């Protein structure tokens, strides 16, 4: 039932939040796995401690403050409608709201309906980040890569990455997005003289995928791919000696490379962040230009 | 393995679900019409837990005071949005979490809660818990929970202060039950690692 360990189910198991079938499976696994038994013991210690968290009584002065509000009539249905009615000045508010809606509507139209994305094939020398992503991908492919931080939880990864490298990496929540074919395995960080580089290891449909990320200023000047002004630019390179697809892009002062053997330029890797159906369609249909 | 947590909400028609909620809905309707007794009843039933939640999340007494008042004021102003089949407490907690998030976005900083206030709280809250060891554990737990990151802290506080199920916590925080389970897993481990030395004092409980 569990490929490796039952870690992510242990708190829910200890607190009776799992269904009967799942609880039996976890119990059976814990009996036969020393690591999960130790982890469960640690979690039970945490639960015993957390139960000591006391309620702090509200100060007695709070009620009199609330009573004043009540007596003023400001919090009754009638009082609140009078209060809002007195605000008036609708002749200012309505045109202002209409102008804001028009501007927001235009932005939304541009972002949602057009939202241009271009994928451009590149032949220039690989950047430092592309070369590193390719190396890491080959190591991952041949099982030579050991993450510094092993996790299948995107939120835990984001916290770890931010703490260790100051880089923001926000992958989709697998449980919410129901992406069974996508599995996060872990990450590591590399220290370079110009700044930290984060490498994230995952699998999509069992295919190893490497994501390398760094701040734009960690690369030589002009080396990071252009972000694009009117179109979000994604750059594509195929490494023929290894059969690896490399996708590079820059966003919000961070630059990224996906390296994988996934088909169709490896663009399915983008879906671990882009969970919006429209966005996926745009990425999926973007034509390769030169 | 798909993460399927059990749904702990009472099914429709269960006694607990149909006796408590309509009373609170009726009280809410009454205090919307200016019935101060009805408001007093609701306020007294929920004030300590609402204030505690605000205080643990904000770590600032003045902010917790404001947020508690705002939560009850919003409760009255938006009483019509309250669904009778829901629990008033869950709705209030959601208001508190949202207000705290707004405050956090505005200020971007919250100060640690004064230790003196903790001591006062402990003696007010649990006069029967005279045991020094228990007080020490509770204070250590408060400090450890204060040091957690906001999302983790909110999840742990809702679980242990309010005794909410994973399903209810996910509703209050607007995240999946898998995320709640994952955050509690991390919270439990961090507490155990920080306060593992207190373990002998927990034995026999």
Contacting residues of A for B138, CB less than 8 Å apart: 52-54
> Is the dihedral angle over the CA atoms B112, B116, B121, B127 positive or is it negative?
positive
- Work out the widest C-alpha separation in chain A, in whole angstroms: 79
CB burial of residue A149 (10 Å; 0-12, 13-18, 19+) = middle
- Alpha-carbon distance B188 to A110, whole Å? 45
Rounded to whole angstroms, the Cα distance separating A249 from A273 reads: 13
Phi, psi at A192, each rounded to 5°: -120, 160
pLDDT score, position A270:
83
B12 neighbors B85 (Cβ within 8 angstroms)? yes
| Cβ within 8 Å, pair B156-A50 | yes
Distance CA(A1)–CA(A149), nearest Å, equals 23
Q: Report which of B201, B132, B158, B146 is spatially closest to residue A48, judged by C-alpha positions.
A: B201
Interface-testing mutation among B27, B39, B158, B188, with chain A (most A C-beta atoms within 10 A): B188
Minimal Cβ distance to A11: which of B122, B125, B185 = B185
Cβ separation A52–B52 shorter than 8 A: no
pTM: 0.55
For B131-145, the pLDDT digits (tens) are 667 778 888 898 999
The pLDDT tens digits of the residues spanning B50-64 come to 999 999 988 888 888
Residue B185 near chain A (CB below 8 Å): yes
Substitution target from B134, B184, B193, B203 for chain A, most A beta carbons within 10 A: B184
Closest by CA to A56, choosing from B48, B172, B40, is B48
List phi, psi (to 5°) of A52: -85, 0
Test A53 with B161 for CB contact under 8 angstroms. Answer: yes
pLDDT category, B153, cuts 50, 70, 90? very high
Highest-confidence segment of A15-19, A210-214, B10-14, B38-42: A210-214
Kindly indicate the confidence band of residue A132, based on its pLDDT and cuts at 50, 70 and 90.
very high
How far B101 CA sits from the closest chain A CA (Å)?
A: 18
Using alpha carbons, select from B43, B48, B15 the residue that is nearest to residue B28.
Answer: B43
The domains of chain A, with CATH numbers, are 7-50 (no CATH), 117-289 (3.30.200.100)
Contact B112, B148 (CB under 8 A): no
Q: What are the structural domains of chain B?
A: 15-111 (1.10.1740.10), 115-205 (1.10.10.10)
Q: What CA–CA distance (Å, rounded) separates A119 from A103?
A: 29
A25-29, A107-111, A241-245, B193-197: the lowest-pLDDT one: A107-111
User: What residues in B contact A51, CB-CB < 8 Å?
Assistant: 160
**Selected residue of A4, A12, A64 to mutate for chain B interface (largest B Cβ count, 10 A):** A12
Helices B150-160 and B88-107: crossing angle in degrees, nearest 10, is 160
Any alpha helices (H) in B130-196, and if so which ranges?
Answer: 132-146, 150-160, 166-173, 177-195
CA distance B176 to A177: 10
Q: From the CA of A167, how many Å to the nearest CA of chain B?
A: 17
pLDDT of residue B31: 76
Q: Does B184 touch chain A (CB under 8 A)?
A: yes
Contact at CB, A1 and B79, closer than 8 angstroms: no
Looking at chain A, the whole-number percentage of residues with pLDDT higher than 70 is 83
Give the DSSP letter string of A95-116.
HHHHHHHHHHHHHHIIIIII--
Measured distance between the N- and C-terminal CA atoms of chain A, rounded to whole angstroms:
47
More confident residue, B203 or A246: A246
Contact B124 A53 (CB under 8 A): no
* Chain B positions in Cβ-Cβ contact with residue A17 (cut-off 8 Å): 5-6, 8, 165-166, 177, 181
Is there a contact between A12 and B144 if contact means CB atoms under 8 Å apart? no
**Interchain CB distance below 8 Å, B176 and A54:** no
Query: Which of A48, A59, A70 lies nearest to residue B65, judging by beta carbons?
Result: A59
**Model ipTM?**
0.75
Q: What is the spatial distance between Cα B119 and Cα B65, in angstroms, rounded to a whole number?
A: 18
Q: Count interface pairs A-B at CB distance under 8 A.
A: 182
Average pLDDT for residues A29-54, to the nearest whole number? 91
From chain A, pick out residues whose CB is under 8 angstroms from the CB of B125: 54-57
pLDDT given at position A214: 93
Confidence of residue A50 (pLDDT cuts 50, 70, 90): very high
């Amino acid at each position: 039932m569990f490929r490796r360990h039952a870690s992510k189910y242990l708190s829910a198991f200890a607190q009776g939040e799992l269904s009967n079938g799942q609880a039996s499976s976890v119990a059976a696994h814990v009996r036969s796995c020393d690591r999960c038994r130790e982890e469960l013991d640690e979690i039970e210690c945490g639960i015993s401690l957390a139960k000591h968290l006391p309620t702090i009584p509200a100060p007695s002065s709070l009620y009199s403050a609330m009573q004043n509000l009540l007596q003023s009539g400001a919090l009754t249905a009638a009082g609140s409608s009078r209060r809002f009615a007195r605000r008036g000045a609708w002749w200012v508010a309505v045109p202002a709201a209409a102008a804001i809606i028009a501007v927001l509507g235009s932005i939304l139209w541009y972002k949602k309906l057009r939202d241009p994305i271009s994928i451009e094939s590149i032949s220039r020398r690989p950047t430092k980040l592309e070369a590193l992503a390719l190396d890491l991908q080959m190591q991952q492919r041949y099982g030579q890569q050991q993450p510094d931080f092993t996790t299948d939880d995107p939120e835990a990864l984001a916290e770890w990455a931010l703490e260790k490298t100051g880089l923001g990496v926000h992958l989709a929540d697998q449980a919410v997005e129901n992406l069974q074919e996508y599995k996060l395995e872990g990450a590591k960080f590399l220290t370079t003289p110009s700044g930290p580089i984060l490498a994230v290891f995952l699998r999509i449909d069992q295919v190893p995928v490497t994501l390398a990320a760094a701040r734009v200023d960690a690369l030589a000047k002009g080396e990071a791919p252009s972000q694009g002004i009117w179109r979000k630019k994604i750059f594509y390179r195929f490494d023929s000696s290894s059969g690896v697809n490399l996708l590079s892009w820059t966003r919000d002062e961070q630059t990224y490379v996906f390296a994988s053997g996934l088909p169709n330029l490896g663009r399915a890797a983008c879906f671990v962040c882009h969970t919006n159906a429209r966005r996926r369609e745009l990425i999926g249909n973007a034509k390769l230009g030169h | 393995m798909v993460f399927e947590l059990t749904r702990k909400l009472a099914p429709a028609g269960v006694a607990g679900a149909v006796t408590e909620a309509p009373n609170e809905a009726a009280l809410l309707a009454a205090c919307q019409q200016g019935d101060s007794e009805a408001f007093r009843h609701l306020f007294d039933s929920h004030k300590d837990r609402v204030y505690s939640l605000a205080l643990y999340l904000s770590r600032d007494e003045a902010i917790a005071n404001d947020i508690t008042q705002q939560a009850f004021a919003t409760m009255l102003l938006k009483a019509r949005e309250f669904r009778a089949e829901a629990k008033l407490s869950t709705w209030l907690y959601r208001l508190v979490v949202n207000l705290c998030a707004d405050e956090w976005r505005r200020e971007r900083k919250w100060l640690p809660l004064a230790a003196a206030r903790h001591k006062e709280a402990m003696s007010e809250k649990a006069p029967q818990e005279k045991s020094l060891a228990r007080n020490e554990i509770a204070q250590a737990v408060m400090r450890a929970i204060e040091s957690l990151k906001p999302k983790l802290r909110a999840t742990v506080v809702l679980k242990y202060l309010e005794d909410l199920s994973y399903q209810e916590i996910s509703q209050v925080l607007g995240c999946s039950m898998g995320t709640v389970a994952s955050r509690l897993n991390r919270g439990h481990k961090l507490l155990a690692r920080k306060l593992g030395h207190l373990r002998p004092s927990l034995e026999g409980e």
